[in-house]
Chains A and B, each alone.
Chain A
Amino acid sequence: MRSDTPRSAYWRGVRDGAPFLLVVTPFALLFGVVATEAGLNVVEAMGFSIVVIAGAAQFAALQLLVDNAPTVVVLASSLAINLRMAMYSASLTPHIGSAPLWQRILAAYFMVDQTYACSIAAYETQPDWTVAQKIAYFFGTVTPICPMWYAMTLAGALIGTAMPAGLALDFAVPITFIALIAPMLRTAAHKAAALVAVALALVLAGLPYNLGLMLAALGGMMTGAQVELWMERRGTWT
């Protein structure tokens, strides 16, 4: 879509980010509830969600604090969970690395699984987008997702009730990510990367500090790159 302006790219991002409210709403609500039950006041719970803005790492840090783990252990474990953010950062750099510094700072702060996943999926299907369009799209995805993270943490902390378990909203995370990734499995290289990553993630699931995820991700990326090279040599890479 050559005619996309940054404004229309922004609204596309808003639309594409909106389904992830299914994930963010119950997850943030739950964090507010769990934080309150752990004895945090509203300011402290909000501090977590605004300063850290990372679901899984926040839950891990809170649990370790409740277990009276030393500060160094809390930080090391939670940062290990967020290591994938460095991979997201590297992966977004070819697309929005030339944006002004202030935009990159804001994009880094708002880089979460959902905004990254939406954006990289869109960038792959819109290779002719300018940096301005790509940045606009990124902040479009941020618009429904991140404010909701704050708002629902607050709601959870104030109201103290999570979503009923019967709704099976735990499974919103896998469903939304699978739905987003499936259309990206275009080439044999993409499929091989995903397949190896899944296999390694399951085999290495028992490793501590989220190491299994990192190794699985690296294994998948190396597989994808190798298959691409191999296909290029055979002349079957377009």
Chain B
Amino acid sequence: MDIDTTQLWTVIILLGLGSFGLRFVFLGLIGDRPMPPWVLRHLRYTAVAVLPALVAPMVVWPAATGGAMDAPRLIAALVTLGVGYFTRNVLAAIGLGAGSLYLFLYLL
């Protein structure tokens, strides 16, 4: 159980430097140099690709249920998506999504 202090700080510092490097690599090194159109075309879809890919497994196999598919969480995710898509209102989507989660956790 005991973590070696030297190893711990080695990890903290190198992980911090590495993470900063990943965050800085394009922003810092490319800066305001123009990028080719095909790169920009791909970058336009970064957010709508990475973030859904990040949350999809959390929705389908929630950690809180030990990875078992869970109806209230699936419904809440769909409600959030629908409200966000049709109203374009982030706060309404969060509110109704959370509301439906609690409602169906209570009902089901």
Chain A contact residues, CB within 8 Å of chain B = 16, 19, 22, 38-40, 44, 47-48, 51-54, 57, 61, 65-66, 71, 74-75, 78-79, 82-94, 96-98, 101, 104-105, 107-109, 111, 113, 116-117, 120-121, 165, 168, 170-185, 189-190, 193-194, 196-198, 200-202, 205, 212-213, 216-225, 228-229
Chain B residues within an 8 Å CB radius of A53: 16, 19
Bound complex: CA of A170 vs CA of B98, how far in Å?
11
CB distance from A125 to the nearest CB of B (A): 9
Chain A residues within an 8 Å CB radius of B76: 171, 175
Contact between chains at B11 and A61 (CB < 8 Å): yes
B contact face: mostly helix, strand, loop, or mixed: helix
A contact face: mostly helix, strand, loop, or mixed: helix
Bound complex: CA of A21 vs CA of B94, how far in Å?
12
Chain A residues within an 8 Å CB radius of B71: none
Chain B residues within an 8 Å CB radius of A228: 41, 44
Nearest B residue to A125, CB-CB: B88
Query: Could you say which of B1, B39, B45, B94 contacts A224, with CB atoms under 8 Å apart?
Result: B45
Question: A38-B1, A168-B101 known; A47 and B9 CB under 8 Å?
Answer: yes
Chain B residues within an 8 Å CB radius of A74: 11, 15
Chain B contact residues, CB within 8 Å of chain A = 1-3, 5, 7-16, 18-20, 22-28, 30-33, 35, 38-64, 73, 76-77, 80-85, 88-91, 93-94, 97-98, 101-102, 105
Some 17 contacts from A to B, beta carbons below 8 A apart, are A40-B3, A51-B12, A51-B16, A71-B14, A74-B11, A82-B22, A85-B23, A86-B23, A88-B46, A111-B27, A121-B47, A121-B90, A179-B97, A180-B51, A182-B84, A183-B90, A217-B50
Nearest A residue to B17, CB-CB: A51
Query: Could you say which of A94, A170, A176, A198 contacts B94, with CB atoms under 8 Å apart?
Result: A176
